[in-house]
Amino acid sequence: MVRSPRLLALAIGLAVAGPAFANEAERPLPPAVVAIVDYQRLLRDSLAAQSIRRQVEDLRLRFEDEIARERERLERADAELGRLRSELGPEAYREQRRAFEADVATVQRLVQERRRMLDVASAEAFQRVRDEVVEVMNDLGDVYAFNVVLPRSDVLVFTPDLDLTAEIMAALDQRLPIVAIMRHED
């Protein structure tokens, strides 16, 4: 006999819901039709991925040049400050030193911001490639009638006919040959 009203309610709920769960379990699942995709190859060799890497590298080189110029400027300012130390009074020197240290902190923030900007721009661009890969796979799913896609890296043995990487790469290169990276400057 059930002593708790909560247990009674649970028992009634399970008794009523039992047939509903049984109907769900009786519904047969469709057979799995598998496709294999070398996802890493798509993100490495597609035209879009190559364009992203070229743009990121170009930006990285420009940022490195900018940062190198800033560091040279700071080195010159530090040398000048060292030279002026004997000419300035203690208070004036401390003031100049504080201004220099604030400038150093600003350049350090610039370096961090440039790194963050590159990371964000690259991540967003590659996300656009990933999204397009999913769209291409959905379209090819209609053509090849597959309903499961597995990454090649997770499958030990498979028939080469299941690997649709080349078809996906061709469609991806046609649909998205270039991805312009977005620069997020403050």
Q: Which domain holds residue 98?
A: 5-175
Question: Does 183 map to a domain?
Answer: no
In a domain, 185, yes or no: no
Q: Is residue 107 part of a domain?
A: yes
Domains held by the chain: number = 1
Asked whether residue 83 is domain-assigned, the answer is: yes
User: CA-CA distance, 140 to 148, in Å (whole number)?
Assistant: 12
* Beta carbons within 10 angstroms of residue 71's beta carbon: 13
HEC secondary structure over 87-114: CCCHHHHHHHHHHHHHHHHHHHHHHHHH
* Structural domain includes residue 186: no
Residue 66 maps to a domain: yes
What span, in angstroms and rounded, lies between the C-alpha atoms of 151 and 39?
A: 6
Per-residue pLDDT of the chain (186 residues; tens, 9 = 90+): 545 666 555 556 556 565 555 556 688 888 889 999 999 999 999 999 999 999 999 999 999 999 999 999 999 999 999 888 888 888 988 999 999 999 999 999 999 999 999 999 999 999 999 999 999 999 999 999 999 999 999 999 999 999 999 999 999 999 999 999 987 654
Please state, in angstroms and rounded to a whole number, the distance separating the CA atoms of residues 152 and 164. Answer: 10
